[in-house]
Structure 1
Amino acid sequence: MTGFLLSVVLTVIPFWLVMGEVLPSRTWTALIIFACAVVQIVVHISYFLHLDTKSEGGWTLISFVFTVVIVGIVLGGSIWIMYHLNTNMMPAMTMPPAGG
């Protein structure tokens, strides 16, 4: 029940921040939403997936960390490749000369 309540609260806070336009800065709103997302990931991992250092001698947590590292490498590498392909392969955007 604790995990469920934490999940609900961590979902309602970002919804309230966005829909109520509570903070004047979009940067702070985005940072708070990101922080709530990170905390909610930890809540889901501990309360719903029951991943900790005690279960199965810690192997489930190690496999989860390995999965997160591999997904991070794949996502980071994909974004890096797409950025550099876009930068190096797209033609330069030139503006026509003014007045003619």
Structure 2
Amino acid sequence: MSAAHGDHGQDARHVHSHDHGHGEGEAHGTFKGYMTGFLLSVVLTAIPFWLVMAGPLPDKQLTTIIIIAFAIVQILVHMIYFLHMNTSSEGGWNMLALIFTVVLVVITLSGSLWVMYHMNANMMPLSAHDMRNMP
């Protein structure tokens, strides 16, 4: 074996044993963490599904609010257990990007709901009787 070939093999072992392609400060997932996230996701999906299919609550508005709350919690579970997002990852840039995205989504959704509400209230006829009387 030549010295160059032996050095190359040693360099390759060094690269593979120490460089995993991740930053030193980043969180790494464990099997227990992934299973916890998976089980939480299943529960957070099954309960709203049951609420809709079985209809145990008489008030549809309350059911909707509960489903939205479960959706928000599920988003947080996915971000923590699967995306490994926290305030220290990537020097805080992940959290800053998340905050920016949430602000944009809130502005877009609230603006869309506002426009749809006002279009419904101001442009739609009040009843089928009103439709028949239109020219």
1:12 aligns with 2:33: no
3-state DSSP of counterpart to 2:84 = coil
Counterpart CA distance in 2 for 1:22 and 1:86 is 30
The unaligned stretches of length 5 or more in structure 1 are none
TM-score with structure 2 setting the length: 0.58
For residue 77 of structure 1, the aligned residue among 97, 100, 111 is 111
Highest RCO, 1 vs 2 (Cα 8 Å, sep ≥ 6)? 2
Q: What's the C-alpha RMSD, in Å, of the aligned pairs?
A: 2.4
TM-score with structure 1 setting the length: 0.75
Shift of the 52–12 alpha-carbon distance from structure 1 to 2, 3 Å rule, reads: same
Aligned length: 95
The unaligned stretches of length 5 or more in structure 2 are 1-34
Which position in structure 2 is the counterpart of 1:68? 102
**How far does the alpha carbon of each residue in 1:17-44 deviate from its partner, in whole angstroms, 9 at most, with x for none?**
1111222222222222111111111101
Query: How far has the Cα of 1:86 moved from its partner?
Result: 6.0
